[in-house]
Every structure is written in C-alpha cells, then in structure tokens.
Amino acid sequence: MRANTTWFKQCGWGVFTHYLADQASARSPIGMTPEEWNRRVDGFDVPGLVAQLESAGAPYYFITLGQNSGFYCSPNETYDALVDERPSRLSKRDLVGELADALTAKGIRLLVYLPSHAPAYHRQAVERLRCTPSWDASAWQLKPGTYLRAEDVDERLSAFQRNWEAVVGEWSRRWGNQVHGWWIDGCYHADRMYRHADPPNFESFAQALRAGNPDSIVAFNPGVRVPVVCHSEHEDYAAGEISNAFPVCPGERLDGAQYHVLSYLGQTWGQGPQRFPDEFVVGYTRHVNARGGAVTWDVPVEETGHIPQPFLDQLALLGVERGG
C-alpha cells in the first residue's frame, strides 16, 4: 500500500540541494580527505539555512546524503562495519539529523536523496558492499575482458542490495518520523535488479527506507524521462527528473503515484548562475500545482550551507505565490 502523499501535493513546491564533496565548494573531491570533509560538514550553518528556507516560505526541503565520492554527511555504523575504512568517509556530525530537528521546529518537512548503489568512485566501498564482481559500478555493465563463472554472476546484485537495505534502514530508524521521504537515484536497471517477486526487490527496498517512518514517501528514479513516468508500484510519488524539457502535467496521479517533477534553477545540479526568468519559474510551478502535481527546484549552496541570494529571491516568489 502506498503512503499518503496528500501533504506533498498540498505543499506544491519545495527546495533541493546537492551538498556533495564535489559541489560543496569550488574544489574537486580529488584529494579530499575525511578530515577535510568533516571540516566542511562541521561548517554547515544549519540555523542559517533553516532561516532562509523559512523566509522563502519553503514547505519542504531535500538534502543529499552523498553520492559517488563515498563522502556522506551522516554517520552510519552499518556502513562503516561493511566498508571497514579508517578513518571513515562518513562525517562525524549527523547533518541530516540536525537539519531534521531544526526544520521540524519550523514546520518544514525534510526529505533525503541517496543513490540506489554503492559510491562508484570509491573502490573499497564498491567491493566491500559487494557491487562486484559481475558489475562495474562506474558504468553498470560487465567489465570488458572480465571472465566469470556463470555461478558467480548475479545481475540482481542481491548481496549488495541486502547490504544497502541494512545501511538505509539504520539511517531511517535513527531519524524516525522527522524524515518524511526519500528520493532514490540510479534505478536504471529495474528489470534486472528490482522487478522480482522475491526480495531483494523494490518492495523490500521501500520497506527498508520506511524502517523508521512507515509514512515516508519514496520515489525511485529511472533517469530523465519526458513525459514523467511512474517507475514502480512501490513508489509513492514520481521521481520526475527533468532537465531541458518541461512537460505538461497530466494530472495528480501517474499509475497511482503522486505526480512530481524535479529540476534545477541553476545551470545544472547544484551549480549557478540562474537559467530562468522569474516568470518561468513561477508560471511553470503554478501550472503543475493547478493540475495536482508538485515541483521541486534544486538550488546551489555555498560551503556554509547558505543559498545564494539570487536563488533565495527566486524561491521567495514561489512562497508569495503559495501564500507563505
């Protein structure tokens, strides 16, 4: 049974930020150390960001836990036990937990982003989490020149999926009902990995994501799809990733899932400057909302965690439109 998405529809719009090791500042993650990552995460100004979101009238907010570099902004004992890297690439500070506390106090809902797979550019994590030997995590295809016994090949990555479900289950239980949803990236090979009657599958993955909050809403991203699609009967809202084509909203539901689109106000994910005039941002959001859908806009953040003022000003127009 799907979670109730009425609140999500009623919010109408929200904010997303890619807070990643390769985008948390102008520097590249090459040469990034756990010490440097902890310094950055410790410098994230939670009260400052929350005050900005409140001033703009944002009803919900997404933040990335991490992505391909293997640097995550929240600790996880299950992950560290499996990957066994010292020092850990996971921050000591639970940035997500602190944001959850601060946003809840202001009536703003927090949701989180996480890829469906191990961090592709962190070989030890890929191997220890068992995304190998049959798949190359950076390309998600059989490695050229690699010869495997038939019994070694598990296209479902079943062992990895069970490990990943244990990792996300720990995070979900820790945050409980203060995290209201998940946006899971990279579910590109759903027929091979998730569309099966027996676990691990979409259903067991969704259950792990809801381990701490059975009312959490879940989306599984198949990549950019125009028109937007519902990817699984076990997701509550469409991931809705779009980039340069902005589709007409067909209505509130897609095969039972809440209609939703996610795109960026900058030049690409997490990077400015702005690419749209105010009239487009307000007008497109108004169009989707009028037909029962929701829109999430990605904006960059500075190393402090603050949203640059031009983007904040554009978001504030949506808050005015909503009556916030």
pLDDT at 155: 79
pLDDT at 215: 98
Mention every residue, 6+ apart, whose C-beta is less than 8 A from residue 175. Answer: 96, 97, 100, 212, 213
Q: Are 174 and 212 in contact (CB under 8 A)?
A: yes
Provide the residue ranges of all domains of the chain, joining segments of one domain with +.
Answer: 6-322
pLDDT at 150: 45
Rounded to whole angstroms, the Cα distance separating 185 from 166 reads: 17
Residue type at 67 in one-letter notation: Q
Q: Are 146 and 133 in contact (CB under 8 A)?
A: yes
Task: Decide: pTM greater than 0.85.
Answer: yes
pLDDT at 27: 52
pLDDT at 24: 60
Question: For 114-163, what is each residue's pLDDT tens digit?
Answer: 999 999 989 999 999 998 754 443 443 444 444 444 445 577 999 999 99
Superfamily of domain 6-322: Glycosidases (3.20.20.80)
- Over the chain (324 residues), the average pLDDT of each successive run of 10 is 96 97 63 92 98 98 96 98 97 98 98 96 93 49 44 77 98 98 96 95 98 98 97 98 98 98 97 96 98 98 96 97 70
